[in-house]
Amino acid sequence: MKSILGKKIVLGLSGGIACYKAAELCRLLIKAGAEVQVVMTEAATQFITPVTMQALSNQTVFASQWDARAPNNMAHINLTRQADLVLVAPASADFMAKLLHGQADDLLSLLCLARPMESCPLVLAPAMNREMWQHPATQRNVAQLHEDGSWVLGVGVGEQACGESGDGRMLEPWEIVQEVARVFTPKTLLGHRVLVSAGPTFEALDPVRGITNRSSGKMGYALASAAWLSGADVTLVSGPVGLECPRGVKRVMVESALEMHAAVESFAKQSDVFIATAAVADWRVKQAAVNKIKKTKDSPTPGFEFIQNPDILASVAGGPRAQARALYCVGFAAETQDVAQQTQEKRLSKGVPLMVGNLGPATFGLDDNELLLVDEVGTSHLPRASKEELAQSLIAHIAKSLPAFLRTA
């Protein structure tokens, strides 16, 4: 992950059952390219061993402010002067209460207080029982820690180790990694609302059968995520895919082209950018059968009459919302040949400022692709890379083009 690659992260564990998730979190941060130094409170060592965390981080763990390994015996200073970020996960109610008051009676709270605030942000991933989370004291502490400049993440909802159910679970490790990536990503789309359509549509023939296509939705999901990392407020209108909703993104699931059209039209009214990655079915059957079409030995092969679906992108780009106030529309042209020419033609015929060309069959379902960006300035090529990397480059391109577009629109 580009924004985390090469970053030095101090991963602090305070006491709580969610410490078991810290092992996976450490692994994911390292996989994303970070260098991780683990620091544990005495309570955390009751839940998971320093041996486990050392093996995963490939660094000896610090758990005491009296650790004589630091030649100057100032681990709290040494560990934070080179760090790019301190992440406390899990952050217990007790640990946050301590931080709030600037108490520093163990190595982890000491280094949180001693870190250079400007260059080393503090991210807290709370984890506790639902009553503890809802307690006014905890909520007061969270608000104040936020006010003091810490990034206090939300909590998950669901079953808790104590057997109760509610708010207070630590976020899943992949969600915390996304939040860390967001801290490091420049907020080039802050204040903007981005709408993304993704995946295939499904056009019913009868209640059990239908027509769809091979779009996996991966590019659209990666774009929604990249826009959120860049500070945008993101809505994702998705056709049927099996992908997890990206962190921070509001997702609306739809099935048919008509449903996607209605959802996109409604959200486009409040958006500044619309990125249409969906592979919308161009046709649907005029009349889907109400009941399952039965096959008997002598029944004729069914025939279907097709009618054209609306062109969602063209209608949104030419609609009242786009004309009344600027809406920067981006299309994705899935071609099988003459990508540059087809992409330019589609850009002009749909009336959008930016059309992205790609070879459909060379990317459906895969994790990488190459793209051709065609706008009024010219053409630029994004060489083969993962869809996450391409999404980040495309979002950077959009963020750069947006101010001039908004000025002239």
Nearest 5 degrees, angle CA 156-CA 161-CA 165? 55
Report if residue 278 touches ligand CTP, rule: CB under 6 A: yes
Q: 11 vs 313, which CB is nearer to ligand CTP?
A: 313
List 251's β-bridge partners, or say none: 236
Q: Which is nearer to ligand CTP, 175 or 311 (CB)?
A: 311
Rounded (5°) CA angle 126-128-134 = 90
Look at phi and psi of residue 168 and say left if phi exceeds 0, alpha if psi is from -120 to 50, else beta: left
The correct pick among 309, 363, 369, 392 for binding ligand CTP (CB under 6 A) is 309
Determine if 331 is a binding residue for ligand CTP (CB under 6 A): yes
CA–CA gap between residue 139 and residue 393 (Å, rounded): 38
Query: Which of 311, 375, 388, 389 touches ligand CTP by CB under 6 A?
Result: 311
**219 lines the binding site for ligand CTP (CB under 6 A):** no
115 is a site residue for ligand CTP (CB under 6 A): no
**Nearer to ligand CTP by C-beta: 134 or 336?**
336
Q: Which residues, 6 or more positions from 61, have their beta carbon under 8 angstroms from its beta carbon? A: 38, 39, 40, 50, 53, 54
Report how far apart the first and last C-alpha atoms of the chain are (Å, whole number): 35
- With CB under 6 A as the contact rule, the residue among 282, 338, 367, 376 that binds ligand CTP is 282
Stretch that binds ligand CTP, among 7-15, 44-52, 265-273, 307-315 (CB under 6 A): 307-315
CB of 308 to ligand CTP, least distance (A): 8
Cα–Cα dist 28/53, whole Å: 13
333 binds ligand CTP (CB under 6 A): yes
Catalytic residue (choose from 26, 120, 162, 329): 162
Q: By CB under 6 A, tell whether 76 contacts ligand CTP.
A: no
Reply yes or no on whether 120 is catalytic: no
CB 320 to ligand CTP: min, Å: 17
Answer yes or no: are the C-beta atoms of 54 and 28 closer than 8 Å.
no
Query: Phi and psi at residue 37, in whole multiples of 5°?
Result: -110, 120
**Of residues 10 and 276, the one with the C-beta less far from ligand CTP:** 276
Strand partners, 386: 368
- Using the contact rule CB under 6 A, the part of the chain among 51-59, 87-95, 305-313, 369-377 near ligand CTP is 305-313
Q: Which is nearer to ligand CTP, 23 or 276 (CB)?
A: 276
What φ, ψ does residue 359 adopt, rounded to 5°? -85, 105
The answer to whether 80 contacts ligand CTP (rule: CB under 6 A) is no
Amino acid at 340: A
Q: Is residue 346 part of the contact set for ligand CTP (CB under 6 A)?
A: yes
Q: State which residue, 16 or 331, has the beta carbon closest to ligand CTP.
A: 331
Q: Contact between 334 and ligand CTP (CB under 6 A)?
A: yes
**Single-letter residue type at 382:** L
Alpha carbons 352 and 343: distance in angstroms, whole number: 11
Burial class (CB in 10 A: 0-12, 13-18, 19+), 237: buried
Q: Both tokens of residue 198? A: 């993704």
| Contacts of residue 324, Cβ cutoff 8 Å, sequence gap at least 6 | none
Residues 237-276 that bind ligand CTP (CB under 6 A): 257, 276
Minimum gap (Å) between residue 346 Cβ and ligand CTP? 6
Edge-to-edge strand list for the sheet holding 85-91: 35-40, 8-13, 85-91, 122-126, 151-152
Q: Per rule CB under 6 A, is residue 280 in the interface with ligand CTP?
A: yes
Helix extents (H) in 198-338? 218-229, 257-268, 312-318, 320-324
Q: Indicate whether 313 belongs to the interface with ligand CTP (CB under 6 A).
A: yes
* Closest separation in Å from C-beta 313 to ligand CTP: 3
Q: Does 220 bind ligand CTP (CB under 6 A)?
A: no
Of 97 and 314, which CB lies nearer to ligand CTP in the complex structure? 314
Annotated catalytic residues are: 162
Residues that bind ligand CTP (CB under 6 A): 197, 257, 276, 278-280, 282, 309, 311-313, 331-334, 346
